[in-house]
Amino acid sequence: MFEAKRLHPAAILFNLIKTVREFLFAIIIGFITFRDDSLLYFVLITSGFLIIFIAASILTWYRYSYRIEDDELRIEYGVFIRKKRYISKNRIQSIDLTSGVIHRIFGLTKVQIETAGTGTSAEASLSAVTLAEGEALREELKTGGTKQTYDENTTDEPAEQTKPSTTISFKRLFIAGTTSGSVGVIFALAAAGFSELEQFIPDSFYDNTLEWAIGLGIVILIVMGIVALLLLWLLGIAGTMIKYGNFTITKSDDELFITRGLLEKKQLTIPLKRIQAVGIQENIIRQPLGHVTVFAEIAGGSMDKGEDFSSILFPIMKRDEVEVFLETFLPDYAGIQHELTPLPKRARKFYIFRTSILFLALTVASGFLIPQFIWIPLVLLAGSIVLGIMRHRDGGFYRNGEQLTIRHRSFSRNTIMMYHKRIQAFEKKQHKLQVQQQLATMRLSIIGRMGTGTHFAIKDLEESHTDELADWYSYRD
C-alpha cells in the first residue's frame, strides 16, 4: 500500500450530498422567501450554486489521496491549500467500517479511524473505498504487517473458529423493538416535523380538517389516537430491527468487533483497554420480563459515533444470561455482580419528594383553576410517587476489593460495574436535611466521550457508607 490511492469516484456524490446538507437550511429559507414572484431567480441562483458544488466535489475527490508508508497512514488533501496528515499506527485506537445504502449499492464502505486524541470528529475518514480495500486497510493498520497481501477472498478459517462470537436472533430482535419504549421519541419527532410543515398547509384546508375531526366525536377520536399510537409503535419496532439487524459481537485478542444494521451496516471496533465501565440497563417494560441491555462506557472517541459511545454490547438478552456473556467477552467484569447494599429506609421520603413535588403543585393549581380536570395531575402525581419509591428501592452499591458495582434509576434501572483504576473523581455532597438525617450523595466520574467525564450519582446513601467509599477511593481503608 505504498502507492498513493484515490477514493472511489462515488466519493464525489458523498461530497456533494454533504455540501448540500450543510446549505439545506439556507435553501429552505430562500425557497420560503422567494417562492412567489421571485421563484425563477431563486431557481437560477440555486442551479448556479449546485454547479459550483459539483465542481468543488470533483476537485476535492481528485486532490484527496492516501497511502501507508513507514508505519503511518499518510493522507494528502486540499484543493487550493495542500494539507498532509500523518497518523502513526501506534496511535490508532479503533478502525470502524460503515456502509450506508448508497455504499452497499456500489460495494463500498466508509473507513473511520479514531486515535487517543480524537476530538469532535474522527482523526481520519475515507468516505468511499471498496469493501475489500477497507478491510485490508483495517488489518494493515491494526497488525502493522506490510508483507502480507489481502484480497476479498482471503480467509483464515482456523483463526475465525477460535474467536468467540454471538448473534442476536430474530425473535430477540423483535422483542427488543416491541419493548424499546421508542414510541415517545418517534411521537416527539413527528410533532416537531408537523410543526415545521404546518406553515405550508393552506389555512382553509387546516380549518376544514380541524372541523371535520371535531365533528367525528370523542369516541372516534380516541380510536384514531389508539391507531396512531399503534402505528408509532410499529415504526419503533421497524426502527430497532433496522438499526440492530444482524447484530453480531466477536472477540479477537484485545478488541471487540460489533457488526449491525440492515440498511446502514456498521462494523465497530472497541479496544478492551478503552472500556471504563460495563452496564446493565432494564427499562420499565423489559424489567418485569427479565430482559436487559448490556452496554459499555468507552473512553475517547468522537461525536461522529453518536450513541456508540456508550456502546451497546448486546441489545437484549435474559438477565440470567448476562454472566455467561461477560465470561465470554469481558471476563474481567464477570462475577462482580452481587447483592447490593440498599439505601436506608429514611431516604425514601427524599426520593418521593423529588419526583412528586412538581405534580403536587400542578394538582393544587388545577384544584383552584380547572377542578374538572384535576384527575389528570392526580394520575401523574400517583405515578411520580411510584417512581420515587422505585428509585429508592433500586438504589445501592457493592464493593469488593478493586471492584465497585452501583445501581440507580431514572426511568430505566442501570447497574454499573467498574474498577477503582477507572474512576477519575469521587465527590461527596450533603445539604442541610441530609446532614440532619446522616445521609449523603455520592458522585463518581469516569472518562467518557471525547475525553470528557461521564458521571454517576447515588443520592441519599448512608453517610458512613459514603465515607467508606471515599476512603476506598483514596486508598485509606
Of residues 150 and 366, the one with the higher pLDDT is: 366
pLDDT of amino acid 476: 53
Give yes or no: residues 210 and 82 share one domain: no
Residues 117, 31 within the same domain: yes
450 exposure class (CB count in 10 Å sphere: 0-12, 13-18, 19+): middle
Query: CA 435, CA 344: separation in Å to the nearest integer?
Result: 14
Q: Which of 327, 358, 392 is the last residue of a domain?
A: 392
Residues 20 and 102 in one domain: yes
Q: Tell whether the model's pLDDT for residue 430 goes beyond 60.
A: yes
Instruction: Flag whether 1 is in a domain.
Output: no
Question: Does 185 have pLDDT greater than 60?
Answer: no
The closest alpha carbon to 94, from 357, 237, 240, 270, belongs to: 270
The pLDDT of residue 423 is: 92
- Shared domain for 260 and 319, answered yes or no, is yes
What is the pTM (predicted TM-score) of this model?
Answer: 0.77
Cell numbers linked to 41: 431567480
Classify residue 160: in a domain, yes or no: no
Structure confidence at residue 95 (pLDDT): 87
Mean pLDDT is lowest, of 242-246, 340-344, 351-355, 462-466, for: 242-246
Residue 402 belongs to a domain:
yes
Model confidence at 190, in pLDDT bands (50, 70, 90)? low
Q: Are residues 60 and 76 in the same domain?
A: yes
What would the pLDDT profile of 78-134 be if each residue is shown by its tens digit?
888 889 889 888 888 888 899 988 898 889 999 998 876 555 567 788 999 999 998
Say what the pLDDT of residue 156 is. 47
Do 259 and 313 belong to one domain? yes
Model pLDDT, residue 141: 85
pLDDT digits (tens, 9 = 90+) for 3-55: 888 999 999 999 999 888 888 888 878 777 776 667 788 788 888 989 999 99
Residue 120's pLDDT is 56
| Domains identified in the chain, total number | 4
Please say whether the dihedral angle defined by the alpha carbons of residues 130, 133, 134 and 135, taken in this order, is positive or negative: positive
Residues 338 and 350 in one domain: no
Listed range (199-213, 237-251, 270-284) with the worst mean pLDDT: 199-213
User: pLDDT tens, 237-261?
Assistant: 888 888 898 899 999 888 899 999 9
Domain boundary among 185, 214, 244: 244
Asked whether the predicted pLDDT for residue 151 surpasses 50, the reply is no
Higher pLDDT, 424 or 212: 424
- How much is the mean pLDDT over the chain? 83
| Residue 268 in domain | yes
Lowest mean pLDDT among 7-21, 58-72, 174-188, 198-212: 198-212
Q: How many angstroms separate the CA atoms of 330 and 226, rounded? A: 43
**Residues 338 and 349 reside in one and the same domain:** no
Handedness of CA 103, 104, 106, 112 (dihedral sign): positive
Q: What is the pLDDT of residue 465?
A: 95
End-of-domain residue from the set 392, 408, 430? 392
Confidence of residue 1 (pLDDT cuts 50, 70, 90): low
User: Which of the 8 DSSP states describes residue 339?
Assistant: P
Show the domain range for 364: 345-392
One domain for residues 194 and 305 = no
> Does one domain contain both 99 and 205?
no
Position 166 in a domain: no
Inside any domain, residue 263: yes
pLDDT of residue 80: 86
35 is a domain residue: yes
**HEC string of 200-242?**
HCCHHHHHHHHHHHHHCCHHHHHHHHHHHHHHHHHHHHHHHHH
293 — pLDDT class (breaks 50, 70, 90): very high
pLDDT band at residue 376, thresholds of 50, 70 and 90? Answer: confident
Q: Distance between CA 255 and CA 141 in Å, rounded?
A: 14
| Among the ranges given (63-77, 266-280, 302-316, 412-426), the one the predictor scored with the smallest mean pLDDT | 302-316
Q: Is residue 262 located within the same domain as residue 235?
A: no
Kindly state whether residues 134 and 274 are assigned to the same domain.
no
Is the confidence at residue 233, as pLDDT, over 90? no
Q: In the numeric block, which cell numbers belong to residue 18? A: 454533504
Instruction: Give pLDDT, residue 150.
Output: 34
Residue bearing cell 486540499: 78
Mean pLDDT throughout 298-310?
59
Q: At 368, is the pLDDT very low, low, confident or very high (cuts 50, 70, 90)?
A: confident
Question: Looking at the domain assignment, is residue 272 inside a domain?
Answer: yes
